């Protein structure tokens, strides 16, 4: 491939052709997907992104946009030898507007950078996930990332006030005006959010900030049955305004986290399920919660731990946050991120074990996730990374219960062949036509969302 033109656009520091420096860009976080690339491209400006994409369009060269490479579905991996377009050098926080509570940043800034810049001016960004220090804001937009606070603030799509992006022809589209009301035709940010680098490269965004709560409190609850735990989730959904997050995990995941990271368990008793509830609001939170609908459960349980300062909250959150890393340290998991309709979580968590063991009864299954959103991360250790039998069985089971085969991680390459489980042929046809308008040469992330 003739790369001199790209070197001219990007400068010497903006293009890495030495394969020994590529592994951070060509192997995904899960280690299940890997590829090779002729070059990693590292633009610093929107103009450079536009010139690079224009060159790729004119020369029919495919590229894979990449942010922090923390995605879980192989969406940022150059599995067919594509160029990697990394936004890693576009990290500028351009503006934090204190009067409107809005932030403008380049796409390569991490979620953590955004959170920190917001908090320096007394604001908070409403999306949080444990890969915050690596995941880029562009990547979270491209995947419409959820995370732990969707219950309170919605997912990434709800935070976007404006977007700038480069389409598959190299054209710069979108705007960053941040108008609260703007019904001038189709909503481009809404469409590009969640498009996983298949329609355009996100280069900058304007995001909504929220006021941080005066006080925050985390509560860990242990249960002898999942049913009991889900009863509390119901209660929370109905009546607790202060709740920001409601996470679930199980005893085997907790044991793995404690073993891998040398952390003492919260209690010596082996239980079944755990809920981590995070609340934030005006002062007097603990008193409000202790008098609210959860009071009976909190008073009656022997398995309740409170975190009311940042250290004790962090201690409780590590049991949940470290699941992904602990499982990854134990092997290369099959990762399925699914959501279930209201009332089906219990049935799914019990049924999925049977579905998997009918295919392979030597697997290890770890379930955890965002219980408040009906979102469960299914992690299966054991089967060969290329053996898709359990994946397909689980996804079909999810679809049979009316759930989504991709709750928040996206479709990427992992689920591209299974999208028909949730989308009709007509819908897939419309998707393809939309893709062709934004990316007529099919150079943007081929193989993601749509199978090659």
Q: Name the site residues for ligand FAD (rule: CB under 6 A).
A: 29, 64-72, 75-76, 87, 107, 129-131, 135-136, 138-140, 142-143, 145-147, 196-197, 201-202, 324-325, 408-409, 412, 445, 448
Decide if 189 contacts 174 (C-beta within 8 A): yes
Compute the least distance from the CB of residue 98 to ligand FAD, in Å.
26
- Name the residue nearer to ligand FAD (CB basis): 75 or 307: 75
Compute the least distance from the CB of residue 324 to ligand FAD, in Å.
4
- Name the residue nearer to ligand FAD (CB basis): 129 or 289: 129
Decide if 88 contacts 10 (C-beta within 8 A): no
- Name the residue nearer to ligand FAD (CB basis): 201 or 273: 201
Decide if 370 contacts 150 (C-beta within 8 A): yes
Compute the least distance from the CB of residue 409 to ligand FAD, in Å.
5
- Name the residue nearer to ligand FAD (CB basis): 44 or 408: 408
Q: Is the dihedral of CA 357, 363, 368, 369 positive or negative?
A: negative
Q: Which of 252, 303, 308, 313 shows the shortest CA–CA distance to 275?
A: 303
Decide if 248 contacts 234 (C-beta within 8 A): no
Compute the least distance from the CB of residue 185 to ligand FAD, in Å.
22
- Name the residue nearer to ligand FAD (CB basis): 150 or 285: 150
> Helix crossing, 345-359 with 389-400: angle to 10°?
150
- Name the residue nearer to ligand FAD (CB basis): 64 or 96: 64
CA-to-CA dists, residue 209 to 121, 193, 250, 280, angstroms:
11, 17, 33, 16
Q: Report the C-alpha gap between 101 and 263 in whole angstroms.
A: 38
Compute the least distance from the CB of residue 136 to ligand FAD, in Å.
3
Compute the least distance from the CB of residue 4 to ligand FAD, in Å.
25
CA dihedral 50, 56, 60, 62 (to 10 degrees): -100
Residue nearest to ligand FAD (CB): 139
């Amino acid at each position: 491939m003739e790369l001199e033109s790209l070197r001219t656009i990007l400068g010497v520091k903006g293009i890495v052709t030495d394969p020994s420096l590529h592994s951070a860009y060509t192997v995904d976080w899960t280690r299940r997907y890997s590829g090779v690339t002729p070059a990693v491209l590292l633009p610093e400006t929107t103009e450079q992104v536009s010139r690079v994409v224009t060159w790729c369009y004119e020369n029919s060269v495919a590229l894979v946009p990449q942010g922090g490479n923390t995605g879980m579905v192989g969406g940022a991996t150059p599995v067919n030898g594509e160029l990697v377009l990394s936004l890693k050098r576009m990290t500028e926080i351009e503006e934090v507007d204190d009067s409107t509570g809005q932030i403008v940043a380049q796409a390569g800034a991490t979620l953590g950078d955004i959170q920190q810049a917001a908090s320096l001016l007394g604001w908070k960004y409403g999306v949080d996930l444990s890969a915050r220090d690596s995941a880029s804001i562009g990547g979270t937009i491209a995947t419409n990332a959820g995370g732990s606070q969707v219950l309170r603030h919605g997912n990434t799509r709800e935070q976007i006030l404006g977007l700038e992006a480069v389409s598959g022809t190299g054209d710069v589209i979108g705007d960053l005006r941040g108008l609260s009301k703007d019904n001038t035709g189709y909503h481009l940010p809404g469409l590009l959010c969640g498009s996983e680098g298949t329609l355009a490269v996100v280069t900058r965004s304007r995001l909504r900030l929220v006021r941080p709560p005066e006080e925050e409190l985390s509560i860990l609850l242990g249960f002898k049955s999942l049913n009991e735990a889900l009863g509390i989730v119901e209660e929370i959904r109905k009546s607790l305004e202060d709740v920001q997050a409601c996470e679930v995990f199980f005893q085997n995941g907790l044991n793995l986290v404690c073993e891998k990271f040398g952390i003492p368990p919260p209690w010596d008793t082996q239980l079944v399920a755990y809920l981590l509830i995070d609340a934030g609001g005006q002062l007097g939170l603990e008193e409000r919660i202790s008098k609210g609908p959860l009071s009976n459960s909190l008073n009656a349980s022997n398995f309740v731990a409170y975190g009311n300062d940042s250290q004790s909250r962090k201690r409780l959150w590590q049991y949940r946050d470290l699941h992904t890393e602990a499982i990854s340290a134990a092997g290369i998991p099959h990762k399925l991120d699914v959501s279930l309709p209201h009332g089906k979580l219990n049935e799914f968590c019990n049924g999925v074990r049977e579905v998997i063991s009918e295919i392979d009864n030597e697997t290890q299954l770890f379930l955890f996730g965002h219980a408040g959103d009906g979102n469960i991360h299914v992690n299966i250790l054991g089967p060969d990374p290329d053996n898709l039998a359990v994946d397909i069985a689980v996804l079909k089971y999810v679809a049979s219960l009316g759930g989504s085969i991709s709750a928040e991680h996206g479709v990427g390459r992992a689920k591209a062949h299974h999208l028909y489980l949730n989308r009709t042929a007509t819908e897939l046809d419309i998707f393809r036509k939309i893709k062709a308008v934004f990316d007529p040469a099919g150079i943007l992330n081929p193989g993601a969302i749509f199978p090659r």
